[in-house]
Structures are given as structure tokens and as C-alpha cells.
Amino acid sequence: MPKLYFRHGSVSSSKTMNLLAVAHTYKQQGKKVLLIKPSVDIRFGAEAIKSRSGLSCDADILIGNDTNIFDYNRKNVKIHCVLVDEVQFLEPRHIDQLRMITLLWDVPVICYGLRTDFRTELFPAVKRLMEVADNIEEIKTTCYYCNKKAVFNLKHTDGVADCSGKLHGTIEKLIFTSICD
């Protein structure tokens, strides 16, 4: 039975690069991958899924708050895997839809994203993922400052560390680093 995976890590842990590598492997085998990302992620363009290493690919579906993933027209194409970037910005109901996709489409769904925000609070979609995912994996990276294992994200506003405020709107202008505890 296909599974719902959640692969999380702090900022700069190569989550998107991992997603793109998995997509590449499927495509090299002649298999169809469905790429999904939230519409609020416009850092590299509306459709672009891009890692900081420079690898990129266009998303097949952009998810807004009111998007129903099941409205996607598969055009009778066999999909072998669903990959989701920046999953933390989806809604909990999207997580339930992704869970159903594993069952109805008989394919694995692999979600990549942050576990917590810069205030160390779970994102609502991630809370739901932690409840229903079959497999939860951490992608590790090191602290920007001391080289220990990073576990948190630090927001910067105008070049200064900032733990206040809410994360809202698009993520095009926010800068984050990974830090340890």
C-alpha cells in the first residue's frame, strides 16, 4: 500500500533539492510525477520549484486556500508519485486530500517542508501531517552560527534576527536561517 511521507528539516536542509532529485529519478525511469506547491511561494516565480543549489522544475498544481486537489484533471495519465514542496503552507484539509490520494490513486505522496515556524510552533498543515503520515523523516542540516545540528528557523527582518510577528502573505521577501537550540 502506498504511503504518505513527511520529510521535514529546518531552512537550508536541502528539502527542495531532495524533492527534485526524487522527481528526476522517477522521470528517468519514464514515470509520471505530479509536482505540487502552494501558490503563496513566489520566491522564484509562480510555478517554479527551485532549490538554492539552482535545480528547478515547474509545478503541475499550485495550491491556494480554496483549492481542491481532486479537481486536478489527470487526463487518464498514470501518475506514479506525488511530490509536494513547502507543504507547511497548505491547509489541513489538503493534507487529508493527499492522504486520500495514496489510497484512491494507489501512489506514494511525499511532502517536504518545515516542521515549525520561527516561533517554534507547528504549522496547521504540519500538525495534520504529523497525525496522519505513515512515515516521518528529518532532513538534517547544521546551525548557521555554531555548526551543531539545526532544529529551529530564525526569521530576519532588515538583516536583524526577529522572533516577533506572524508569518503571513507571500514568502518572497522573508529571510530565514537554521539554528540550534
Instruction: Output the pTM of the full model.
Output: 0.87
pLDDT band, very low/low/confident/very high, at 129 (cuts 50, 70, 90): very high
Digit-coded pLDDT (tens) for 60-69: 999 999 999 9
Is residue 32 classed exposed, middle or buried when 0-12, 13-18 and 19+ CB atoms within 10 A define those classes? middle
Pick the catalytic residue: 86, 137, 138, 172? 86
DSSP per residue, 81-131? EEEESSGGGS-HHHHHHHHHHHHHT---EEEEE-SB-TTSPBPHHHHHHHH
Residue 142 φ then ψ, to 5°: -105, 155
Report d(CA 62, CA 14) in Å as an integer: 21
- Residue 168 pLDDT: 44
Residue type, 27: K
Digit-coded pLDDT (tens) for 3-39: 999 999 988 888 989 999 999 999 999 999 999 999 8
DSSP per residue, 33-75? EEEEEETT--BTBSSEEE-TTS-EEE-SEEE-TT--GGGS--T
CA quadruple 128, 55, 141, 18: dihedral, nearest 10: 50
The answer to whether residue 86 is catalytic is yes
Residues 6+ away with beta carbon under 8 Å from 53: 14, 17
Q: 77-91, 95-109, 150-164 — which is least confidently predicted?
A: 150-164
Digit-coded pLDDT (tens) for 67-95: 999 888 777 789 999 999 999 999 999 99
Query: Which domains does the chain possess?
Result: 4-140 (3.40.50.300)
